Amino acid sequence: MIARMSNTLKKYSTMTTITEAKKLAAHRAVDLHVNSGNLVGIGSGSTVVYAIERLAERVEKEKLQVKCVPTSFQARQLIIKHKLPLTDLDINPELDVCIDGADEVDSNLNLIKGGGGCLLQEKIVASCSKKLIIVADYSKNSQKLGDQYKKGIPVEVSPMAYVPIQNRIQKLHGGTVDLRMAVLKAGPVVTDNGNFILDWKEYNQNVDWNKINSELLSIPGVVETGLFINMASKAYFGMTDGSVKVQE
């Protein structure tokens, strides 16, 4: 009995934590996809924190020459904190690579992004990059969108149109559409761009996501969606056993 418990504890002690998995994926992506002279889009979220840390290490040790374009206020502050060169799309409208996280990645490399509220700027920077590289932990890897991520597909909308858009999405595609509310502030979440976010939940998973994305974008007042379809080049997932799974 004691021996069995000891083996069980040993097994769990060797499992990679979520934090370690994020770091593994972020480091691998930065090491393989960022070269000296690159213009780099820097995404948002908890996994990207480790990507920025690794990039700063390489800049210091290898004297890497890079310039970084942030996708959010958070990303901008992290770039400044780590003393990485900061630029923007006005100066550098074409980027070599964008390193970003995701809330969920399906078997076709379709993404749900925007859990942190930065989907518009994330999609703009990704669209200006030659390749979008996703970094995440094992919990973000799914067969179908919605298998694991249950907080819904984010849709950034003009504040004056959020009720008509709610009704339109539910009428056309079913499910429920909720206005995302702030946690430490009264009222709704307001994005860096001054918009609201709707979270579309309980949707049909067996659909053509490219078609659904186009239909959502055609609704007046929808600014952008958290569906990133046919945009990612490759995804790196830190796994429980300490390995890194690559999907492309």
106 three-state secondary structure: coil
CA distance 27 to 204: 35
Token digits for 115?
A: 């859990």
88 pairs with which residues across the strands? none
CA distance 49 to 81: 11
Task: For residue 210, count other CB atoms closer than 10 A to its CB.
Answer: 12
H-run or E-run covering 22: helix 18-33
Looking from the CA of 157 toward its CB, the CA atoms found within 13 Å total: 28
122 tagged catalytic: yes
CA distance 184 to 57: 34
* From 53, 62, 104, 122, active-site residue: 122
Q: List Cβ neighbours of 137 (8 Å cut-off, separation of 6 or more).
A: 18, 21, 22, 25, 47, 237, 238
Q: Which residues are catalytic?
A: 122
